[in-house]
């Protein structure tokens, strides 16, 4: 069994650099509570997901990556806690479609899902308290395309019940209760206003977008491209499977870098 540390790292930062000179990229790797993480591995990746530079954070979580060329990058930081891949990078092992799909396959380190009907593809792995991350790229031909990352899903056949981190243009990183009454966040007018301010301009429908979900006890939180979005309390389902969704009407949704870490 992987050794799990009692720490909740904030794993994603974004840096967009536009200039002619080289830059020093600096920042802090911190827990959800704001504490610095010592010796976290910091990786600077280009828009294609290729590593450009790496380094380690200092005692207070601070890091510096020097002599970086201008461009668009993603910063990812890992502490020593072990992650469990939800996708092995080469097959669909560990995943089961719950309805007929046009195709579900592994393609060059990505999971590709194409369907004309609403379908959930559900994992064998079950977990209660966790942090999950993935990157998603939605199809361009359907402006109303809808997908999601399901978690704490229950039910062995057909459409599961549980929670969904929304993946679409309208409410990215919102939380939907599948078989639990619909939208859980945003729900009220106040929440909707807060959500709109937090998520404005973050989702890029033409690029890969990074989603993160943390569920511990009844507390559920989501992040979109490194920014906190949803936070709510709900305890109707406290353990279950993970899932990826295609809402139908064609097009291929792509997933990569799916991983999960159990929280103790």
pLDDT tens, 120-150? 999 999 999 999 999 999 998 888 899 999 9
Show me where the domains of the chain are located. Answer: 12-78, 84-262
Residue 197 DSSP SS3: helix
Residue 152 neighbours by CB distance under 10 Å: 28
* 209 vs 127: CA distance, rounded Å: 24
- What's the pLDDT at 1? 34
- What's the pLDDT at 57? 87
Q: For residue 108, which phi and psi values (nearest 5 degrees)?
A: 50, 55
For residue 41, list its beta bridge partners.
56, 78
Residue pair 119/245 in contact (Cβ under 8 Å)? The answer is: yes
Best CA proximity match to 75, nearest among 100, 55, 90: 55
Residue pair 89/220 in contact (Cβ under 8 Å)? The answer is: no
Question: What's the N-to-C CA distance of the chain in angstroms?
Answer: 13
- What's the pLDDT at 51? 84
Residue pair 52/75 in contact (Cβ under 8 Å)? The answer is: no
Q: Is the pLDDT of residue 18 over 60?
A: no
242 sits in which H/E element: strand 240-246
Q: What tens digit of pLDDT does each residue of 170-196 get? A: 999 999 999 999 999 999 999 999 999
Homologous superfamily assigned to 12-78: Immunoglobulins (2.60.40.10)
Residue 113, classified by CB atoms within 10 Å of its CB into exposed (0-12), middle (13-18) or buried (19+), is buried
Q: Is the dihedral of CA 170, 71, 48, 73 positive or negative?
A: negative
Structure tokens belonging to residue 51:
């590593």
Q: Is the pLDDT of residue 54 over 70?
A: yes
Residue pair 62/79 in contact (Cβ under 8 Å)? The answer is: no
For residue 136, list its beta bridge partners.
209, 255
Q: What tens digit of pLDDT does each residue of 97-117 get? A: 999 899 999 999 999 999 999
Residue pair 151/240 in contact (Cβ under 8 Å)? The answer is: yes
Architecture per CATH, domain 84-262, reads as Sandwich (2.60)
Instruction: Give the sheet arrangement for strand 71-78, strand by strand.
Output: 12-17, 71-78, 41-46, 51-56
Residue pair 137/147 in contact (Cβ under 8 Å)? The answer is: no
Structure tokens belonging to residue 222:
């989501």
Residue pair 213/228 in contact (Cβ under 8 Å)? The answer is: no
For 46, which DSSP code? E
* 236 vs 180: CA distance, rounded Å: 8
């Amino acid at each position: 069994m992987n050794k799990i540390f009692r720490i909740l790292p904030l794993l994603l930062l974004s840096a967009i650099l536009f200039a002619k000179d080289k830059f020093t990229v600096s920042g802090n790797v911190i827990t959800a509570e704001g504490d610095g993480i010592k010796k976290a591995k910091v990786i600077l990746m280009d828009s294609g997901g290729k590593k450009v530079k790496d380094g380690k954070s200092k005692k207070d979580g601070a890091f510096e990556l020097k002599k970086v060329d201008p461009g668009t990058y993603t910063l990812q930081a890992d502490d020593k806690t072990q992650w469990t891949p939800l996708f092995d990078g080469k097959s669909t092992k560990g995943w089961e479609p719950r309805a007929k799909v046009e195709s579900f396959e592994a393609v060059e380190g990505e999971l590709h899902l194409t369907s004309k009907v609403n379908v959930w593809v559900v994992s064998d792995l079950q977990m209660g308290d966790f942090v999950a991350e993935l990157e998603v790229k939605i199809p361009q031909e359907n402006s109303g395309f809808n997908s999601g990352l399901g978690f704490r899903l229950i039910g062995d056949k057909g459409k599961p019940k549980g929670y969904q981190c929304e993946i679409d243009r309208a409410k990215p990183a919102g939380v939907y209760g599948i078989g639990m009454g619909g939208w859980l966040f945003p729900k009220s007018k106040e929440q909707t206003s807060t959500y709109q301010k937090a998520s404005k301009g973050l989702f890029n429908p033409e690029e890969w977008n990074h989603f993160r979900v943390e569920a511990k006890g009844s507390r559920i939180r989501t992040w979109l491209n490194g920014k906190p979005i949803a936070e709510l309390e709900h305890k109707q389902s406290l353990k279950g499977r993970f899932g990826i969704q295609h809402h139908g009407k064609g097009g291929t949704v792509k997933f990569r870098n799916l991983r999960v870490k159990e929280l103790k």
